[in-house]
Amino acid sequence: MDHRPHRNPVLPPRRPTTPPVTRSRFALGLTAAAATGRLALQECLDCGAIQYPAREACRHCLSDRLEWRERDGAGTLQAETCVRKPYETYFRERAPWRTGLVRLDCGVSVVAYLHGGCAEPPARVQVRPYLDRAGRAVLVALPQEDIIDMTDDPLIRELTNSPKGRNVLITDGTSEIGQAMAIAAAEAGAETVWVGASEPWKAAPGFEALSAVPQVTLLPLDVTDTQSVDTLAGQIGGKVDILINTAEFHRTHSALSRRGVETARAEMEVNYLGLLRLSQAFGPAMSARAAEIPTNAVAWVNVLSVFALANYPAQGTFSASKAAALSLAQCLRAEFRPAGLRVLNVFPGPVDEAWNQTELPPKVAPRRLAADIVRALEDGLEDLFPDPIARDWYERWRADPKVLELELTA
């Protein structure tokens, strides 16, 4: 049950506002790194000078050979100010903004928002990148030592998507991943955790333990049935703050190892069309609620697969369905951005579940995957590669997609 105060229907609804999105193409490198939780700055390949802010040519030698490289955010807060009357609507609605100048140990000074726990200058701080509600990178200075709950700070809560105090919908609780995700959300402080099941009367293994969690409510939901999705959206769509799509149909077949298209059609029905049905049913209401105060709709999570980046021939049709889902998720990210809704795409390697029985370790455990997703929400990430296989696959794909394709065919 949702115990939060309801919006006064007499008052006009708040419209979503976002920070300015204009960035140069060169500055988007900071955002690309922030999407996976990394602080990256440009470095000149000729003279070694580190650049901030981002630019087209080196500030020392004017070379255009600049490369984004990951940096440690340790530094010293040198000065601070408090902006009380910003010009932009988004900032004005959330004023005041405590802002400071931080000299990083790597040799450049950056402008950063200041966490409420930061001491007055001079003070040691840790700068890390976050994504704002427009999906662009901003820098935040945090105290070097964690305080009781860093996410309780209003600035961090605005930039992140913690489940604490929010209503969460898990679309499929019949799988180990879905059940682990529901428990992890409840442990993270979610107020309500709705868990979908296509045939709840079957009482899948784990349902009894799931039902014992106070925040959890099991509801009928079949992502292959438009009426089922629309019915649930009509019941709770206006209350969902975070939607986590764990629905998945997974079979380990290559394209030629099994005749017919029945398996591939089932994979597409759940993995791609299921996501489309969910987005059309829940997306508009979540977008409309993105500006509510004090608790608003904040995030949409897609549990995909690292096989979506490059096809894994041994699971060829499954990989193709996840690639289609990834393309749709990128479309959703663009459509949700004006409302400030974050789309988190999760790219695990092989998960330790029945359909990956023959895959050799390492395999990510469902409980570990669920904990990593909660942490990614708390950190405000857009892309998560939660395990060693996924991170290695991603780095090879970034280096050269064609080389990775050739390696997989071998």
The pLDDT tens digits for 223-254 are 999 999 999 999 999 999 999 999 999 988 88
The CATH number given to whatever domain includes residue 226 is 3.40.50.720
Nearest C-alpha neighbor of 75 from the set 147, 139, 150 = 139
Q: Are residues 127 and 247 in the same domain?
A: no
Is residue 92 located within the same domain as residue 237? no
286 and 176 belong to one structural domain: yes
pLDDT in tens, 277-291: 999 999 999 999 988
Cβ within 8 Å of residue 235, ≥6 positions away: 219
pLDDT-derived band at 390 (thresholds 50, 70, 90) equals very high
Order of strands, sheet of 342-346, starting from the edge strand that comes earlier in the sequence = 216-220, 192-197, 167-170, 242-245, 299-303, 342-346, 383-384
Q: Which two tokens stand for residue 29?
A: 């490198």
* Distance of alpha carbon 344 from the chain centroid: 2
In a domain, 395, yes or no: yes
- Number of domains within the chain: 2
In a domain, 17, yes or no: no
Confidence bin at 214 (pLDDT 50/70/90): very high
Q: Is residue 8 situated within a structural domain?
A: no
Question: Cα 103–96–102 angle (5° rounding)?
Answer: 0
- What rounded mean pLDDT belongs to the chain? 91
Looking at 156, 177, 208, the residue that finishes a domain is 156
Q: 156, 177, 205 — which closes off a domain?
A: 156
Write out the two tokens for 144.
């070097």
Together in a domain, 118 and 173: no
Q: Is residue 20 part of a domain?
A: no
- Kindly state whether residues 371 and 262 are assigned to the same domain: yes
Same structural domain, 148 and 180: no
Same domain for 194 and 116?
no
> Is there a contact between 231 and 278 (Cβ–Cβ < 8 Å)?
no
The torsion defined by the Cα of 267, 269, 274 and 280, in degrees rounded to 10, comes to 140
- 132 plus 281 within the same structural domain: no
pTM equals 0.91
Indicate if 102 and 179 belong to the same structural domain: no
Answer yes or no: is pLDDT of 85 > 60.
Answer: yes
Are 241 and 298 in a shared domain? yes
The mean per-residue pLDDT over the stretch 325-332 comes to 98
Are 317 and 252 contained in the same domain? yes
Residue 11 lies in a domain: no
User: In this structure, is residue 396 part of a structural domain?
Assistant: yes
Q: What is the pLDDT of residues 104-145, one digit of tens each?
A: 999 999 999 999 889 999 999 999 999 999 999 999 999 987
pLDDT of residue 149: 62
Per the structure, the complete domain to which residue 200 belongs is given by 167-409
60, part of any domain? yes
List Cβ neighbours of 191 (8 Å cut-off, separation of 6 or more).
2, 3, 4, 165, 166, 167, 215
Same domain, yes or no, for 258 and 338? yes
Task: Retrieve residue 46's tokens.
Answer: 């000729």
Cβ-contact 42, 67 below 8 angstroms: yes
Residue 1 lies in a domain: no
Peptide bond into 5 cis (omega under 30): no
| Domain boundary pick from 156, 184, 207 | 156
